[in-house]
Structure 1
Amino acid sequence: MKKTTTLLLILLASTVGFSQEGEKPDNTGDNFSLEGALALFKKSNSLEEFEKLLNEENNNVNNLDLNDDNDIDYIIVDDIREGDIHAIVLSTYIDDKEKQDIAIIGIEKTGNESATLQIEGDADLYVENTFIEPNEVVESSTGGKGGPSISEITTKQVIVNVWFWPSVRFLYAPTYVVWHSPWRWGFYPKWWRPWRPYKYHVFYNRCSPHRVHYHSVPARRVVVAHKIYAPRRNHSNLVIHNNRRTTVVKSNNRKTTVVTKNKRGEVKAVRVKKSNPNRVRTSGGRR
């Protein structure tokens, strides 16, 4: 009887542990749908409207709580423009000083009525080189070998021309003024009410429709947009971690605590390092 009870307790503990582990995404950024962000960007008539849509709960795009206060983070949208190149930066404040970028939408004009774009997840939150772009497949049919009654259908991914998206036309309008979000830590629009983050598997299912029309690609296509953005990237010195196998770093004015976890999320080592008082912070903070 004791053996049976012990076995049941072990099985129960294993089940609970597996369930808790399954509630966490492999990468922190998985709690923000890059595909969903592009879907909202496509239908937005301005960057102000785009920011509003990102921060509405029923759009199923944002499930981030980077500062672990059990409230969803407000997503801020800013535009960096150089000539015909735009880098639309999505970011959030971790506190009143620290700001963390989540992703950028790079847009490059390729002709009089053509433009291309990608969204790239920030390397602090996503697997390095995470690129998402509109998905469009062209089918072609040819006469089959061995007779006219058999045909071969081939498919090919094509680069989508986004010039006619309302949001893109807005950016390239002669009257466009570069957009910077007016909101910051502690100052948010009156209509916004943060909600509690969903369990990851719930959020994953809720944002699944976005993945139909947008897909991952292996390489950066909007190279110039990334170059103009890179020197202005915001990176937080607070709690940021890529996945359950990655080191988690917490910093304050006096010390830095480095917690190393294994694949199952179990703590392997804790080290406390004294911070260098002469160190100058060059990232984060307000624009």
Structure 2
Amino acid sequence: MKKISFWFILLAWSFSFSQDADTTENTGDNFSLEGALALFKKASNIEEFEKLLNEEQNNVTNLDLNGDGEIDYIVVNAIQENDTHVLVLSTYLNETEKQDIATIGIEKTGNEEALLQIEGDEDLYAANTIAEPIDIEEKATKTGHGPNSFNIETVAVVVNVWFWPSVRYLYTPGYVVWKSPYRWRVYPKWWKPWKPYRHTVFYTKTTPHRVYYTRTPTRRVVVARKVYTPRRSRSTVVVHTRRGTTVVHKNKRGKTTVVRTKKRARR
């Protein structure tokens, strides 16, 4: 009897561990910030960028914020203030609520020079979750006398994104600020939502995106953040915790609602 109880406890513990390992710490873990930058570099304009974000084979989004069992459509809307551009990636949860997912800030820093960063929304990510493109350079440091007295080290450097087609598009004369034509239940004919993957599967699929794009604690596009902040959109849904609880903000009357949801079986 004791042996049966032992194996039952071990089996239950193993199942619990596997479930926990496949649960994300933050809801935003189901959207690849690095992948979004990779697609933005690939796109020739904002319309194409939005299309790439919503194609399953590009492995960037695994978000189902409204819990209907299907991936949410991501819209992209642009903001411009002088030489600063912000692309807001968001999704509609119903007819009246929209939740921002991330923002891409682009700032022109000189003649044919521009910086770019993407930042996850704090409702879905930990505060100050920022990613940016990186390049690797070799740096030689003299360590003594003689021809071999050098130490070679690799350092990550900030990338000038001015020559990305999508960035050049934003700075072309006559550019019209992009507004997505899509909203709740109004989607392009080509788009077919798919069911979310298990997070471990999705994370593996996003691995290639993390080669040339990395997280950083430093916010370099300060002006872009200031331009975006007063225009931020957030829904009542905040985050799906490890226990499957949907936390809801206070409404206008100050009432707070907590809705418990069951985890769905995923691929």
What are the ranges of 5 or more consecutive residues in structure 2 without an aligned counterpart?
none
Partner of 1:235: 234
Any idea what the Cα deviations from partners look like across 1:249-273, whole Å, max 9, x if unmatched? 247899632379xxxx9xxxxxxxx
Distance of aligned partners of 1:30 and 1:112 in 2 relative to their CA distance in 1, 3 Å threshold: same
2:242 alignment partner AA: R
Partner of 1:256: 256
Between 154-163 and 36-45, report the one with greater CA deviation. 154-163
Q: Match for 2:242 among 240, 244, 259? A: 244
Length-normalised TM-score, structure 2: 0.91
Give the RMSD, CA atoms, in angstroms.
2.2
Length-normalised TM-score, structure 1: 0.85
Partner of 2:133: 134
Deviation of 1:246 (Å): 10
Any idea what the Cα deviations from partners look like across 1:166-198, whole Å, max 9, x if unmatched? 000000011211100000001100000000000
Partner of 2:34: 35
1:241 alignment partner AA: V
Residues in 2 aligned to 1:18 and 1:138: alpha-carbon distance in whole angstroms: 41
Residues in 1 aligned to 2:238 and 2:13: alpha-carbon distance in whole angstroms: 28
What are the ranges of 5 or more consecutive residues in structure 1 without an aligned counterpart?
266-287
Partner of 2:25: 26
Which aligned runs of 4 or more in structure 1 are off by greater than 6 angstroms? 251-254
Residues in 1 aligned to 2:157 and 2:146: alpha-carbon distance in whole angstroms: 30
Partner of 1:277: none
1:47 alignment partner AA: I
Are 2:176 and 1:177 equivalent residues in the alignment?
yes
Partner of 1:149: 148
Contact 2:65 2:72 (8 Å CA) reproduced: yes
Are 2:86 and 1:81 equivalent residues in the alignment?
no
Give SS of 2:158's match. Answer: coil
Are 2:120 and 1:121 equivalent residues in the alignment?
yes
Residues in 2 aligned to 1:63 and 1:14: alpha-carbon distance in whole angstroms: 27
Distance of aligned partners of 1:4 and 1:247 in 2 relative to their CA distance in 1, 3 Å threshold: closer
Q: How many residues align?
A: 259
Contact 1:124 1:242 (8 Å CA) reproduced: no
Partner of 1:168: 167
Between 209-218 and 239-248, report the one with greater CA deviation. 239-248
Distance of aligned partners of 1:134 and 1:243 in 2 relative to their CA distance in 1, 3 Å threshold: farther
Deviation of 1:43 (Å): 1.0
Residue pairs, 1:100-111, within 5 angstroms: 100-111=99-110
Deviation of 1:234 (Å): 0.4
Give SS of 2:239's match. Answer: coil
Distance of aligned partners of 1:3 and 1:186 in 2 relative to their CA distance in 1, 3 Å threshold: same
Any idea what the Cα deviations from partners look like across 1:53-112, whole Å, max 9, x if unmatched? 000000000000001111000010000101111010000001111100000000000112
Residues in 2 aligned to 1:57 and 1:137: alpha-carbon distance in whole angstroms: 30
Residues in 1 aligned to 2:54 and 2:15: alpha-carbon distance in whole angstroms: 32
